[in-house]
Copies of this chain bind each other. A is one copy, B any other.
Amino acid sequence: MYLHVQRLINEIVPDEPDPAAANALQEGLGGQFGEMRTMMQYLFQSMNFRGPAGKPYRDLLQGIGTEEISHVELIGTTIAWLLDGSPRYNGKKTDPLDTPGAGGATPLSIALDHSNIHHYLVASQGALPVDAAGNPWSGTYVYNSGNLVLDLLYNLMLESTGRLQKCRIYEMTDNKTARSTISYLIVRDQAHENAYARALETLGVDWGKVLPIPKTNAEKFPEVKKLLDLGLQSKQYSFDLTGASEAGKIFRGMSPSKDGTELDATEQAPAGVPITIAEERFEEFSPGLDPELLALIQATADIEMAEVLPVFGPIPPSDPT
């Protein structure tokens, strides 16, 4: 069973809209090696897991899989930020809410030659479950052989490929919004590389000098370097509400990336940052309510709500990161 906190797992840095960067990030969301895939793959591997003695391995898969849902939320929101307002953007956000399209105007003309036209025509300047070439996500991507060694090997390759592609996306754009999320995911992918590599080490493999994949030079990626300096590549949260996870039996000891750090699985989750709700876009008819319907919405929003009963506990009092 899953629960949600109304917080993003990492901060998104504001910058100008950038539909081309948004489209590149779609690979990290809906691509063959993106977050929707890792999320689904680890969810299936957890459900179908065999061998009670392997619980620490199952818990490692479950914990990383839960993190991936938050990554879907993070990168999807980032893409939405990069698209939002792009049709009328001219360097600074003046007059963001004037009436679009009056009298036969073409406020969405940008859609014809930027990014993926579906971002404007279908998704209302929001994220789509597709890759950067527009291919929809497919269930054929999910790999779950039931053979533990094979599943771990595949997952190591999967995280490394995801990291490789994100390093390439980093080299495609210097938009700060895009890079804040891409850099965070490059580092978390390395943490997951470490997790699966370490799991294979417990079964006797010695990786020598081949990790991490790809070999990168931290100096080339300043935003990434900051996160590495914090040690985020060597930490794995449990994302487990009741302390039952045994993933820490695997994710411990020296990092297989041979960067001199020690693996640490003692935290439950990062504190995250608040989520905001995007503004209306009239040219998209989103949310598309006229004054009468808006009045009804407002009436609903003003109701004093019966408080939901918190079972699993209050918001964390302080940042545990």
Q: Please indicate the chain B residues that have their CB under 8 angstroms from the CB of A77 in the complex.
A: 47
Taking the nearest CB of chain B, how far is it from the CB of A251, in angstroms?
10
A269-299 residues with Cβ-Cβ distance < 8 A to B are: 269-272, 276-281, 283-290, 292-294, 296-299
Taking the nearest CB of chain B, how far is it from the CB of A188, in angstroms?
13
In the docked arrangement, what's the CA distance between A23 and B240, Å?
Answer: 31
Interface residues as binary, A97-108 with B (CB distance below 8 Å gives 1, 0 otherwise): 000111111111
Tally of chain A residues near chain B (CB < 8 A): 179
User: Closest residue to A118 on the B side, CB-wise?
Assistant: B133
A135 at the B interface (CB under 8 A): yes
Q: Please indicate the chain B residues that have their CB under 8 angstroms from the CB of A4 in the complex.
A: 1-3, 62-63, 66, 239-241
B48 contacts A126, C-beta separation under 8 Å: yes
- Among B266, B277, B308, the residue within 8 A (CB) of A50 is B277
A123 at the B interface (CB under 8 A): yes
A48 contacts B306, C-beta separation under 8 Å: no
In the docked arrangement, what's the CA distance between A100 and B297, Å?
Answer: 43
B3 contacts A3, C-beta separation under 8 Å: yes
Interface residues as binary, A225-253 with B (CB distance below 8 Å gives 1, 0 otherwise): 00000000000001111111110111010
Beyond A50-B281, A127-B47, A268-B310, is A5–B9 a contact (Cβ under 8 Å)?
A: no
A13 at the B interface (CB under 8 A): no
In the docked arrangement, what's the CA distance between A200 and B312, Å?
Answer: 31
A311 contacts B281, C-beta separation under 8 Å: no
- Among B9, B102, B113, the residue within 8 A (CB) of A20 is B113
In the docked arrangement, what's the CA distance between A56 and B102, Å?
Answer: 31
- Among B49, B138, B312, the residue within 8 A (CB) of A140 is B138
Beyond A112-B24, A272-B1, A311-B269, is A215–B172 a contact (Cβ under 8 Å)?
A: no
User: Closest residue to A215 on the B side, CB-wise?
Assistant: B290
A261 at the B interface (CB under 8 A): no
Taking the nearest CB of chain B, how far is it from the CB of A63, in angstroms?
8
Taking the nearest CB of chain B, how far is it from the CB of A47, in angstroms?
4
B285 contacts A215, C-beta separation under 8 Å: yes
User: Closest residue to A216 on the B side, CB-wise?
Assistant: B285
User: Closest residue to A270 on the B side, CB-wise?
Assistant: B1
Q: What are some 23 contacts across the A-B interface (CB < 8 A)?
A: A1-B8, A2-B73, A4-B239, A6-B244, A21-B112, A36-B40, A44-B128, A50-B281, A51-B289, A102-B220, A104-B223, A117-B133, A120-B172, A133-B134, A135-B136, A136-B138, A145-B161, A168-B284, A202-B296, A202-B297, A203-B208, A213-B288, A268-B311
